[in-house]
Each structure stands twice: as C-alpha cells, then as structure tokens.
A and B are shown apart, each in its own frame.
Chain A
C-alpha cells in the first residue's frame, strides 16, 4: 500500500519569539515492513535543518534566530507498506513463556525491563496483567489477550489526559489516549519480565471511522517475542500491527520519541495545532525515484 503523509505542526505565540531550538522525530523508518520513498521537512521561518541517527530512529534539529510569532514544521513522506499477515509472525501454539525467565533476556534486553521516565513500576499494572501473562499459554496468546483487555478496560477519551499525565492518573481515571494505552501496557509487560518498547508512528484508517489515532501521530508498543523478534501490539485499537501502520521512532517511552520538542525565548505559546493527513495513492502518483532506470 502506498501512503502519502502530510504532518504539520504549528505553534503560535502571543508575541515575538527571538530564539527557538527544536528536535523533530517524524521521519518514517525504511525497513523490511515499509519503504520510505520520499521525505521532506521544512519550517517557517525557513532555516537549515540538520539530522542524525539515534538508535530509535532519525532526529532532525534546527535553530531559529529570526524573530517570529509563529513556527510551522511541515513533514511530508511517501511510504510503501508491505502487506503481511501479522499472525504469521507469532506463535499461538507452543508454550514458550519460559524464554522470559532466562539470563539471556535479563541481560540483553535489560533496558526494556526496568521503569522509565513515563513508565514507573506500578503494582496495579502488574495485577491487571497477571491473569493473562503466565507460562500456561504461549506468550503471544497472553499478549493478545492483554491487548484486548486494555482496549476494553481503558476508555478512549481525548479530554481525560494530556501529554504530561502520569500513569497513576490514567489508572485512576481508566481513560486516556494512545500514549496512555501504550504506557500502561509497557508497565504491565515490563513488570512481568517481558521486554517492551514504545513506538510512535502513523495509523492509516482509511474509511473505517471506528479506529482511533489518525488525527495526530499514533503510539503503540513492541514486545520481544520468544523467537527474538519485536512484534507490535496496539492496545488502543486491539490490533496486531499490520500494513496500516507506519513506524517513525521507538524508545523506552514517549519521552524518547516526542515528534516535536523545543525550547524558545519568547512569550507563552498561544496555540499548538497538529494536523496529520494520510491518503492512499496508486504507484503512478509516487514521485520518488524508485523507477530510476539503470544504465
């Protein structure tokens, strides 16, 4: 499937901003599940943009020293996602849970097992997951159950939480957005010894309005499976990650992947608006050079 993504972030200030430094994590991966055919990033005021690779993905950064009352960051990407059956990637038959008890996992995935900035260790998260995560069934079955359970247990409510909400607040309200679903499931997996990481990306909904997450960037998690592969679970939508998902960045939690972050000198931010638009296109509409003739 060919997807064209337009992701615009606009900050408006209540006066003049004299200096602004930003990091942006919005460039989709180019990997075995998705091919990045085209990517462009520009800002207004226009400024030279630099980038480097972090282990979790690409980071763009720039500094603006021109006075401005408005900052626009606009990314556009064309991605080809490759069709695959997500269930072919997980084992639903053999008992394999003991993998998580090995010293191999404790050492090689140590960073994905401990609390992180946004994902503290919470006994309540452990307890919620206990009926699902145990050696009596294959790990993937337990995780699919848990994915469904959190989907039902938390209600999706864009007004219940905000970016700075903590996981205990989410547990108390039993409501939140994709970021909260993901953090809760991370806490549950880690407390049970299953290495898990946070993923930011886009979800292409198409015409199916029952799914959540297209208005902005989406978030889900990846769990380490007993065969050593990372598999994506989306508790917000009760789905295994498939070719409707475009992965941008991964990290220990939201703190590692926030799509835009910055510091600036100026008056307070009056408004922040984010618009993400994704549409499916046909190959002939792709302007990228994948058809470059070889000589």
Chain B
C-alpha cells in the first residue's frame, strides 16, 4: 500500500471536523508554506526527524508523571512535529480576550475577599462562592500587592466545529505546561530549522525573563534586590521537571518546603552562606499543602508560618492564596458576568454552554441528557473525574450520575464540543487529531503579557477528546505569526539561530 512517491497528506481525512490546516480547497493561507514543505517530505524523512526529536527529548529528560500508571513515575511527553499555526489577526483577538478575562478574574478575587459587591449586587449567587471548596474564608480582608492574585494564568481554549475559539476553563492556581511550550520550540528549531526561515514565527523565549521581572516587581517595599525562589512539592510531583526547568531558566533557587523557614514573621532560605531572606515565592504547591499551621496540619511539604508572613506582606506568593475559587468549574459560567460587572465590557471570547448541578433545572437536564453531555467534577483538574457521555457505557453513566446526585454542586456538564483537529504524524502518514490550546498569561502590577503561543495539546489516541498530559496526551509547537516579515531570531537556551524572514 505504501508508496514512496505519495505525499504524507494522501488519504488525509478531515473527518467532518474543523481542521486547523486543511479545508476542502487545500491548506489555509497561513499554513501554505508549511503544507508545501511537508508535502514534499517522504515518510522516511519525517520519521527521521521524529526520531531526532525523540532523542532530544530523551536527552533533555523532558517527562511528565502519569498518576495511577504502574510502569514508573516518569514518561516522556510526546511531541508531534507538525506545528500549529495561528495567524496574527486571530492572535490579536485571543490576546484581547484573554487579557480582558484575567483582569476580570483578578478583580473578582479582590472583590470576593473584600466587599463582595458582585455577590450582593446579584450577578453571581453568593452561595456558590462562599461554599466553594477553594474559597478561603479566613482570607477575607487580607491584602495582596497590587491587588493581583493571579500572576500566572493558563486558560484552556478550544475551537469548535466552525473554528470559533472558546474558553473551556481557566487555571488560576498552579497552571503547568509552559516548559513544554518552550521545549517544543527548541525541538522544532533543531529539527526543522528551515521552516522558521520561511514563516515569521513570533519568539516566546523571553517567557522566563518576563515572569522573573514580574515576580520581582511584586517584592515587599524596600527590598532593592528581591530574592525570588521557586517552591516545589518535590520530585514526585507530576510537574517536577517543569519546576526544575523554570528555576534554571530564571536563574533562581529551586526549593522544597524543608529548605525554607519562618523567623520573626519573615521567610528565609537555608544556604551554604547562611539564611537569606526570601521576598517572592513562585509556589507550585497547592494552598492546602502550603502551611501546616494554617491549612492541612499533616502536610510535610509546606513551611509552617509562611501564610502569616504572606498575610503580613513580608513575602509574596505567586499565585496568591484562594485563587481556586476563580477557576472552580461551577463559577466558570459566570465569568462573562464578571467581565460585564467589573469592566463594563462585553466578553470578547466565547465560552462553552454549561449546566450546573447546583441549579435544579440544570440537574434535571443533566440526568435526562447524560448520553450527550460531558460531565466534570468542579474542582478536579488534569482530566480526572470526567465522564464523556457519548463514549460511556450505560453502567458508567448510571454510576457517574449516582455520584452527581450525592453532591450536585460539585458537578457540571457541557455539550460535547467537536474539537478542532490538526494533522499529526501517525505511523507513516498524517492523521487528524483533536487539539486544544493553553496560552500563558502573566500579570504584572499594571500590565498583562500573553506569550505569543502556548501549549497546543493533542489527544493522541484516535477519536479521543482528552488532551490532558496526565491522560496520555501529547503536544505541538504553537506558532503565532508576526504581522510583518522582518528578520527575527529564535533563541532557546544556549542555542541561537538567526533566520531571515520573507524570501
């Protein structure tokens, strides 16, 4: 069947989905050059590049831990080498929409931990907020620098059957994946240097420096040379690789709870030169495990006393405490209301219609239409606690519905969105696979920076809609094209490639 002269795109089936690259009439304009390049490649050639990429991944130790998998702690995180391309005008729309969204989310957090006007004025039911599992009642009245709670946000975008971008969820606690965004770019510049010569891809390599500058800007007043550290739960955490990678890229200490201590309401790191004061902590530990004095007493991962030091303004935590109420899936349907309420603007980005188990009429609908809906637990992440109705057996559905009925507030349901697809290299040719996009949004004191790109996640299993890396997904490099085609540089770590735009 396989013939050397065939293009990798032969027999490519769009399967009735919105395809990122191809339409009935051939490639979309922003994919034109990539398409020509890939069409001219044999599967042997593409495979050789894939092997080079795998080798790079292996050598770099880029892994992700899949919980509940018995084969071992770490797995390589598969990269598909066909990049996902977003044209400049589309990106400009996303950038405006995401900026609007994160501004509203930060205003929401400030409000619910202070006057809670949005709850008394009506747009959001108070009950949903104050009884949300991640609402931190005891932080009502606590202030944070610049009123910024979410310093780093990873919002998940999907495209539906018409190609409309929709926000699926926001990750306001400790979003992960940015290291894969950076590494995927590194791999592509190594494996396909020529492609960058032909497309004016906007660089993303300044992510670590933008983040570090932001974090430093939040330091307590009077701290001239703020000391920033990254706090990890340790090597058993699924994103440990990312913690180590980011700390190294930012040139800051990677610490665990036992490396820090609190004295006189300030945080110090133990070093070979003695204790040093810590000003800002990029923490990748959830609230619950941060401080045994305030949260779970049995947690050994955190630092006793750190939360009171934070509350006193002597150390800054990024993200802040209590942000989980903003990405609770039962609060998500109200984000458009937040945007209208705080900013007086119409939401720029669409969302996905959502049924709340909390609302009786929705709950009835969820029961009656379970077979058509995707169910999610409101405070799980990483694709855990989900049920995809159309792909589930009747027993799975009834078991799941029993859980929903026992605690309706903690479940939502959404129609199954026919996620857009992108060509992926499977065995010896391209096949369409469903994808999403997690852009990374950085909030400074007065500015929002959105890295032009993000992590495009791929549901590698044929027909699967679950893109989470913890569910065996993979990823792609994401190219945001510049408006003009000037000379540009792609810099990654120690390697620099100079590329000419245009012809």
Contact = CB atoms under 8 A, between A and B. Distances in A.
Nearest to A54: B138
Contacts of A50: 265, 308, 312
Nearest to B308: A61
B312 A54 contact: no
B348 interface: no
A56 B137 CA distance: 10
B161 to A, nearest CB: 38
A16 to B, nearest CB: 17
A263 B292 contact: yes
A19 B304 CA distance: 10
A192 interface: no
Contacts of B141: 53-55
Contacts of B261: 19, 65
B125 interface: yes
A23 B308 contact: yes
A175 interface: no
A256 B137 CA distance: 10
A108 interface: yes
A89 interface: no
A48 interface: yes
B137 A21 contact: no
Contacts of B349: none
Contacts, number: 63
Interface stretch (B126-134, B339-347, B434-442, B446-454): B126-134
B132 to A, nearest CB: 10
B138 A261 contact: no
Interface in B158-192: none
Contact of A21 (B119, B127, B142, B304): B304
B348 to A, nearest CB: 30
A21 B305 CA distance: 6
Interface residues of A, number: 26
A230 B127 CA distance: 19
A55 B115 CA distance: 12
A261 B131 contact: no
Interface string A1-33: 000000000000000000101110000000000
Contact of A55 (B138, B294, B305, B308): B138
Chain B interface mostly: loop
A107 interface: yes
Interface in B286-341: 292-294, 297, 304-305, 308, 311-312
Contacts of B262: 21, 63
B416 interface: no
B368 interface: no
A106 interface: yes
A111 B130 contact: yes
B25 interface: no
B293 A52 contact: no
A283 interface: no
Nearest to A265: B304
A263 B293 contact: yes
Contacts of A252: 137
A262 B293 contact: yes
A65 B312 contact: no
A114 interface: yes
B290 to A, nearest CB: 13
B427 interface: no
A82 interface: no
A63 B127 CA distance: 36
A110 interface: yes
Given A19-B261, A47-B264, 18 more contacts: A19-B304, A21-B293, A21-B304, A21-B305, A48-B264, A52-B311, A53-B141, A54-B141, A55-B138, A55-B140, A65-B261, A65-B263, A107-B126, A107-B127, A108-B126, A110-B130, A111-B131, A252-B137
Closest 5 CB pairs of A and B: A110-B127, A21-B304, A21-B305, A107-B126, A263-B304
10 contacts: A19-B304, A21-B293, A55-B140, A61-B265, A65-B263, A107-B125, A107-B126, A111-B131, A252-B137, A263-B292
